[in-house]
Amino acid sequence: MEETPLSRTGRAWREVDGRALVHNARLLQGLLAPGCRLMAVVKAEAYGHGAVWVARTLEAQGVDAFAVACLSEGIALRRAGISGVILVLGWTPPEQAPLLAAYGLTQAVADAAHGLTLSAQGVELKVHLALDTGMHRLGIPAEDTAAIAYMFALPHLKVEGVFSHLCVSDGNSEQDRAFTARQLEVFYRAAEELRQRGLDPGALHIQASYGLCRLPPQPCQYARPGIALYGAASSPDLPLGVAGLEPVLSLRARVVSVRTLPAGCGAGYGLAFQSMEDRRLAVVSIGYADGLPRALSQRGGQVLLGGTRRPMVGRMCMDQLLVDVTNGPEVAAGDVATLIGRDGGARISAEEVARQCGTIANELLSRLGPRLPVVPLV
């Protein structure tokens, strides 16, 4: 998603702050063990921030490894000129192996059957082996050393890394901490057993954002931060535990109309907003087709206008929403409303909006839609 000439005069857009992104990357690099590097997770359009923009910005700062969810995301980065390692974390159909090879992508082996069918394609592939250390999602069971070792013997697969995923590293209970410690123990034991068999496990990586921020430095070659890179936590109840991260994204939209709603009248679909007295309503040109949760306007959603919080009212529409601007500084058509980000001394965080809608910032940001141009701050 590239900036368009109409971005800052359009109906709605995402602003992304390259200075904040670089700051966050450097802060996270300071948490790494010697010899460990960032593998920036840029799946889902870099959590809604624009994958190409994020990758180019970080690549200019020396980051040379990226993780995506699927083949098409990896191809898009290569076509944009991104070099270095691009690891496809998700399952890729084996018959698409020629595309993996053609674009120089590294494929995660989802399980033993996936490895066998990838090998059977007869295409030379770089792979990282996913190990199941307790999440029970993808991966070869980490205790099954024989099955893991067999992947090294398959023709056409060049194993360059072994990885896993910590599923409760964001938790706060003693049980969560104990489970995470068990996952780490199982993972490192599997790597050591491979070495004892004379096999090089290659680059090890197991930490995502919460594992990186909450655990001591790990003896790995990569860490895979996602949400932390973008200066957000999954929710206010799950802090990352690292001070100084800065939000990268602001979400803004245009006020297109302001009108008076007489007392006793309703507004919006279902006339869900009813005025008991004369009210001033602003129409803001963004809606659920842009990726906002439809329920936000009826769960306490707000926007910033002139540095002042103004409540959303009524039912959110596909392309617009209503804001009550009766109180506070005057609002006019053409003004900019901030839905996520800072306006003057006020701020609305992605975590706040996500909590209002019963979700996490990861989902809220990654579902922001392609109608919202990504506008880098200069």
Q: Which residues participate in catalysis according to the annotation?
A: 43, 269
**Integer Rg of the chain from CA:** 23
**Checking DSSP bridges between strand 249-261 and strand 336-343, what pairing results, if any?**
antiparallel
Handedness of CA 82, 87, 90, 91 (dihedral sign): positive
Phi, psi for 261 (deg, rounded to 5): -100, 115
Contact 78, 104 (CB under 8 A): yes
User: Do residues 230 and 248 touch, judged by C-beta distance below 8 A?
Assistant: yes
Cβ–Cβ under 8 Å, residues 289 and 318: yes
Residue 367 · residue 14 · CB < 8 Å: no
Spell out the SS3 assignment of the chain: CCCCCCHHHCCEEEEECHHHHHHHHHHHHCCCCCCCEECEECHHHHHHCCHHHHHHHHHCCCCCEEEECCHHHHHHHHHCCCCCEEEECCCCCHHHHHHHHHCCCEEEECCHHHHHHHHCCCCCEEEEEEEECCCCCCCEECCCHHHHHHHHHCCCEEEEEEECCCCCCCCCCHHHHHHHHHHHHHHHHHHHHHHHCCCCCCEEECCCHHHHHHCCCCCCCEECCCHHHHCCCCCCCCCCCCCCCCCCEEEEEEEEEEEEECCCCEECHHHCEECCCCEEEEEECCCHHHCCCHHHHHCCCEEEECCEEEEEECCCCCCCEEEECCCCCCCCCCCEEEEEEEECCEEECHHHHHHHCCCCHHHHHHCCCCCCCEEECC
